Amino acid sequence: MRFKHAVLPLALALGVCGARAAETPTMTVASVADLASLFEGEFTTLPDRGGATPAPPQVLYNLAKRVRVPALGQEVVYAEQHEKAPDGPMLWQRLYAFELDHDLGLIVMKPYSFGNGQQLAGAYSDPTPLAKLEPAALKPQADGCIVLWHRSEAGFDGVLKPGSCKDAPAAPKAAAQSAAGAPAITVTKTDYTEQPQGGSQTPIVFRRIH
């Protein structure tokens, strides 16, 4: 995912998303697994060749796999982002931990960084190197957005947790307005879409390849 800029008290987050969460199906442990599975695979911003949409100026590829990292919980996804091609220059690596917040009734997705990135390159296809990952090496992504998820008709919708990153709403009023509008990110079986952030006007669509 593009969100890399990463909290207010839990009560504030509840105020932001409570009304929306109340209108959606109850989140369960199975819901967490369902959401994590939708991020697993290979995605690109390059449009389907059969369509009329032109290629974006920067073509990105996100490669991700659910992995076992007990220090981060039961549902964890390792992700790499490359440009130009799946094996092109790597822009970043990340671990995403998914956890059900019973109080909010939402799924919380938190990004983590690690110090030995080069040793873990390619872990989406061979997660064996992750066994060497020491818990002490895992750090919450300093500028990473925390995303709060709920089910939608086609998959899941996510909003940025207030105060978790520079793109997230900082005040309760702004947060409520954000929650009432389009979600910051949506994910389905075929793609995920990131809404404009930081002054951009164009959503970024990552199309599933595999």
Q: How much of the chain is helix, strand and coil, in % rounded to 5?
A: 25, 30, 45
Burial 195-205 (b: 16+ CB within 10 A, else e): bebeeeeeebb
CA 189, 210, 44 angle in degrees (round to 5)? 85
Residue 61's beta-bridge partner residues? Answer: 44, 82
Does residue 144 contact residue 84 with C-beta atoms inside 8 Å?
no
Q: What is the pLDDT of residue 122?
A: 93
| Residues in the chain, overall count | 210
Give the model's pLDDT for residue 170.
Answer: 80
Q: Write out the chain's pLDDT in tens, 210 residues.
A: 555 433 322 222 333 344 444 455 678 989 999 999 999 999 999 998 876 788 888 999 999 999 999 999 999 999 999 999 999 999 999 999 999 999 999 999 999 999 878 889 999 999 988 887 888 889 999 889 999 999 999 999 999 999 999 888 886 555 454 444 569 999 999 999 998 766 567 889 999 999
pLDDT of residue 125: 93
- How many C-beta neighbours within 10 Å does residue 8 have? 18
pLDDT at 15: 39
C-alpha to C-alpha distances, 103 to 17, 21, 27, 108, 129, nearest whole angstrom: 11, 11, 11, 11, 35
- Tokens found for residue 146: 């925390």
Instruction: State whether residue 165 is helix, strand or coil.
Output: coil
Strands in 6-146 per DSSP E: 41-44, 60-67, 75-83, 90-101, 106-113, 139-140
Residue 186, strand partner residues: 157, 193
Contact between 53 and 43 under an 8 Å Cβ cutoff? The reply is: no
Q: Please check whether residue 148 is in contact with residue 106, taking contact to mean a CB–CB distance below 8 angstroms.
A: yes
pLDDT number for residue 199: 59
Reply yes or no on domain 10-208 having CATH 3.40.50.261.
no
CB distance 102 to 18 below 8 Å: no
> What is the structure's pLDDT at 181?
52
The distance in angstroms from the start CA to the end CA of the chain is 16
Q: Please give the model's pTM, rounded to 2 decimal places.
A: 0.83
